[in-house]
């Protein structure tokens, strides 16, 4: 619309109103444009780079100057965008992204390894969006990037520290397991087999990987507290008296006391404390019920019962697997969590789960 043309003819009030509206919109657009240009120019920590389809640099803001060390006049119309990519694999990665943008005409985000004028390597999170010409066809790509090098470094350091911590804690668990093994190989073997079954149940319950690992870790030391029980009671070749059994019943608390001050990524001490609790409150030491018992402790309880029944005990021969599975089926939802029992039954009945070979207990230990 041309204002002079309109003015030169006789104009109606509606046309005059339209012209006023047009002038207002034009002014707003100019101001917005100026505002946006200002942002582009003054962003010192954000790189904004525009290229054509041949990857020639057409626009390079002050943020790009700051980050990459090249002045705008050194690169605009002179260099291709690949001067800021750190290596051949990044160039390949960007080519793939650009092809995708041109094909779909949609923007994409990516993390790129880049290099500055003086050779410093940096990481940027880039948002790449297509630019369209007047005919609506794509004519280039606009990239907006943020330096995330520090962020990446801190992330890697944190991962590294976590990994070291995990190794340390795993080391503590294995050292504990070895101490138990030295004193009581029978219990050590039992714990390993319980841990393997408990881990398989935890996987079947679709617990997160970290929780599955925790179930295994606690499994291999869950009877740690038995080191506080005199060895002759553990290997007594007859049924225990009530007083003797009470000594054994103290082992979850004894294990808890040894572990309670160590910071693990899992509630190790509490799981150890609760592995003889039963969901109807008939277990020990606290008589906890249902959801007051930690899930991992309920998993260990089922694995513990099955393994114990199929193992030889100093005072009795082993029971057949059928009888052990009968025990958990009969007390499903009474003593044991029903979902855990179902997973355990499925492992034996459908998945052919088998315990590793058991070493016969040494005659010295009964
Ligand atoms: Fe136990």
Confidence at residue 7, expressed as pLDDT on a 0 to 100 scale: 52
> Angle at CA 187, nearest 5°, toward 182 and 193?
115
Could you tell me which residue, 294 or 359, shows the higher pLDDT? 294
Ligand 1 geometric centre to CA of 252 (Å)? 7
Ligand 1 geometric centre to CA of 119 (Å)? 61
Ligand 1 geometric centre to CA of 249 (Å)? 8
Residue ranges with CB less than 5 Å from ion ligand 1: 223
Mean pLDDT of 26-48: 79
Ligand 1 geometric centre to CA of 321 (Å)? 19
- What residue ranges define each of the domains in the chain, with the CATH number in brackets? 43-147 (3.30.450.20), 166-365 (1.10.3210.10)
Q: How many Cβ atoms sit within 10 Å of the Cβ of residue 263?
A: 7
Against a cut of 0.85, is the pTM above it? no
Q: Is 290 left (phi over 0), alpha (psi -120 to 50) or beta?
A: left
The mean-pLDDT minimum among 170-184, 206-220, 255-269, 317-331 falls in 170-184
Ligand 1 geometric centre to CA of 255 (Å)? 10
Q: Tens digit of pLDDT for each residue in 51-88?
A: 999 999 999 998 999 999 999 999 999 889 989 999 99
Ligand 1 geometric centre to CA of 364 (Å)? 22
Ligand 1 geometric centre to CA of 272 (Å)? 8
Give the whole-angstrom CA distance, residue 237 versus residue 3: 110
**276, pLDDT greater than 70:** yes
Ligand 1 geometric centre to CA of 286 (Å)? 14
**366, pLDDT greater than 70:** no
**Band of residue 217 on the pLDDT scale cut at 50, 70, 90:** very high
| Mean pLDDT score across all residues of the chain | 89
**Cβ neighbours for 56, distance < 8 A, ≥ 6 positions apart:** 77, 79, 80, 81
Give the whole-angstrom CA distance, residue 179 versus residue 192: 14
Ligand 1 geometric centre to CA of 79 (Å)? 71
Ligand 1 geometric centre to CA of 299 (Å)? 13
Ligand 1 geometric centre to CA of 32 (Å)? 72
Ligand 1 geometric centre to CA of 207 (Å)? 23
Ligand 1 geometric centre to CA of 176 (Å)? 15
Ligand 1 geometric centre to CA of 251 (Å)? 7
Confidence at residue 321, expressed as pLDDT on a 0 to 100 scale: 95
């Amino acid at each position: 619309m041309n204002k002079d043309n309109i003015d030169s003819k006789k104009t109606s009030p509606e046309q005059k109103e339209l012209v006023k509206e047009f002038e207002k919109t034009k002014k707003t657009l100019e101001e917005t444009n100026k505002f946006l240009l200002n942002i582009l120019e003054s962003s010192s920590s954000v790189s904004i780079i525009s290229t054509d389809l041949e990857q020639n640099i057409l626009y390079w803001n002050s943020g790009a100057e700051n980050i990459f060390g090249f002045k705008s006049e050194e690169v605009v119309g002179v260099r291709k965008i690949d001067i800021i990519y750190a290596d051949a694999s990044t160039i390949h990665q960007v080519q793939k992204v650009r092809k995708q943008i041109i094909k779909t005409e949609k923007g994409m985000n990516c993390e790129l390894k880049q290099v500055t004028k003086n050779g410093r390597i940096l990481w940027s999170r880039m948002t790449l969006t297509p630019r369209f010409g007047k005919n609506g066809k794509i004519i280039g790509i606009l990239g907006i990037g943020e330096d995330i090098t520090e962020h990446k470094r801190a992330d890697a350091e944190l991962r590294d520290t976590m990994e070291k911590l995990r190794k340390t804690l795993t080391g503590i668990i294995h050292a504990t397991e070895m101490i138990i093994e030295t004193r009581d190989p029978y219990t050590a073997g039992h714990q390993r087999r319980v841990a393997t079954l408990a881990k398989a149940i935890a996987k079947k319950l679709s617990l997160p990987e970290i929780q599955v690992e925790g179930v295994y870790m606690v499994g291999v030391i869950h009877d740690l507290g038995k080191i506080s029980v005199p060895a002759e009671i553990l290997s007594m070749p007859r049924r225990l008296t009530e007083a003797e059994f009470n000594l054994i019943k103290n082992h979850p608390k004894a294990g808890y006391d040894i572990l309670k001050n160590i910071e693990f990524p899992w509630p190790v001490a509490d799981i150890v404390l609760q592995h003889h609790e039963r969901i109807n409150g008939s277990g020990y030491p606290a008589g906890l019920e249902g959801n007051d018992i930690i899930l991992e402790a309920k998993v260990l309880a089922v694995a513990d019962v099955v393994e114990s029944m199929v193992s030889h005990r100093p005072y009795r021969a082993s029971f057949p697997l059928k009888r052990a599975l009968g025990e958990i089926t009969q007390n499903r939802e009474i003593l044991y969590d029903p979902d855990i029992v179902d997973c355990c039954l499925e492992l034996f009945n459908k998945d052919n789960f088998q315990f590793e070979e058991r070493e016969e207990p040494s005659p010295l230990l009964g």
